[in-house]
Amino acid sequence: MAAYMSNSEKASKAPAGLPARKAALAILSDVLRRKRPLDVAVDDALAAAKLEPRDAGFARAIATTSLRRFGQLEALLLSFLDKTPPPHKAGPTLEILTAGACELLFLGVAPHAAVDGANRLAQADAKAVHFKGLINAVLRRIAREGEGRLAEQDARRLNTPDWLFERWLENYGEEAAHAIVHAHLLVPPLDLTLKRPDDPCTDLIGVLKLAPRRVRLEHAGRIEDLPGFAAGRWWVQDFAASLPAELLGPIEGRRVIDLCAAPGGKTAQLAFDGARVTAVDRSPARMARLRDNLARLELQANEVVTDAAEWPGGDGTFDGVLVDAPCTSTGTIRRHPDVAWLRQENDIAALTALQKRLLQKAVALLKPGGTLVYCTCSLEPEEGEQAIAALLAGEPAVRRAPVDAGEVAGLAEIITANGDLRTLPCHLPHADPRLGGLDGFYAARLVKS
């Protein structure tokens, strides 16, 4: 009934202590109440808690699985509650219930351990302590009746906000929309881009080769503990995310700029392929991550911390421009389940305005004859196909250069009728569902005349 579990989720079957559950609760409260991205909330909570790797994995599993299955868990809890405890009085009571139900139903934690852990969380909170009896009663009922209730749910629809599902129905059709939301329920594998094409990967367990220098791991565990991390042999990058940079073609010795570059996966690709790379990002913290990643990989780029759309330098001097534009990120829900609950449909308009500015800047940066690749990790056409259509209609200096399947590992199904790239989470299926899927990406290649 539950989704396939990662190593950290499997490890969570053994009871862990209160510190791990406190960290998970902090993460969920950060995401659901303060609307902070899951990755940021995880980093902050785990840094503050200073947990052992096993407990950190348990905390991460509770938070991530709770968000991946949040629609189901919320519906289930509401069916057991006469009324929802008001947050201003109940504090994190709902998050404690959500995490406890997740442990019971999706992480396989023993009922006595999950219920006791939730009670201890409530006892430690000045507001939730007044709802300790409710928490105990509801979770005990879920331990007895929860699996039967789950069997009656439509998991794919409950875990997808209506506005997203209706868009995907309209844009991709019923079959694809259902396949997308099903893919979001599966714990995604870990994809790596290898620094060297001749790396045998013999010390990595469960390796599936996707394309030259692209591999997928069935069993990942803690990334920093994997063979080759410290030596800089690879970097983490979803297979779909590795495709746009390839569309720039041969770039050795050429000047290429990566706009909105952090955390640096595409910058690393460009630098390894021999380009003279300028990496631009407005966030000092994210640029610090890029710098650390490049140092580990022993790769170099010229780093610029600024708003890419406003940067005054470099107009008309670059052979290639890669624009990985900020977007709703709805193509990454399989890896970032918080996106489904943090994004709203009205976010699209503000982001498309920014994407338009970035595209205009990218054209200005490009030499005549140079290549521009625009991409977003969004499933929404306004941030992909429609953005490029508007640029081509208003900018006579650029034309589309269609992508060939041979440039994207032979995956003809991800090439649109116009010759752009469009991946869906249900693409790249595998006989073992734990090894299938891609992030949803759009990419278009343009040439300046």
Nearest CA to 117 out of 97, 147, 143, 87 is that of 97
Catalytic position from the list 102, 260, 327, 377: 377
Nearest CA to 215 out of 226, 225, 224 is that of 226
Helix 53-68 to helix 38-49 angle, to the nearest 10 degrees? 150
The tokens for 235 are 């970097």
Q: How far apart are CA 207 and CA 182, in angstroms?
A: 24
What backbone torsions phi and psi does residue 444 show, to the nearest 5 degrees? -130, 145
Residues in Cβ contact with 321 at an 8 Å cutoff, skipping those fewer than 6 apart: 256, 257, 259, 362, 365, 366, 370, 371, 372, 373
- C-beta atoms surrounding 447 within 10 Å: 15
Helix (H, G, I), strand (E, B) or coil at 239: coil
Could you confirm whether 377 is annotated as catalytic? yes
Q: Check: CB of residue 233 under 8 Å from CB of residue 263.
A: no
Compute CA distances 277 → 266, 323, 330, whole Å.
10, 13, 28
Q: Where are the alpha helices (DSSP H) in 81-211?
A: 87-90, 93-105, 111-123, 132-151, 155-158, 162-172, 174-183
Q: Check: CB of residue 61 under 8 Å from CB of residue 6.
A: yes
DSSP classification of residue 3: P
Exposure string for 126-148, b = 16+ CB within 10 A, e = fewer: eebbebbebbbebbeebbeebee
The tokens for 11 are 């490890």
Q: Check: CB of residue 247 under 8 Å from CB of residue 256.
A: no
First-last CA distance in the chain: 55
Active site residues: 377
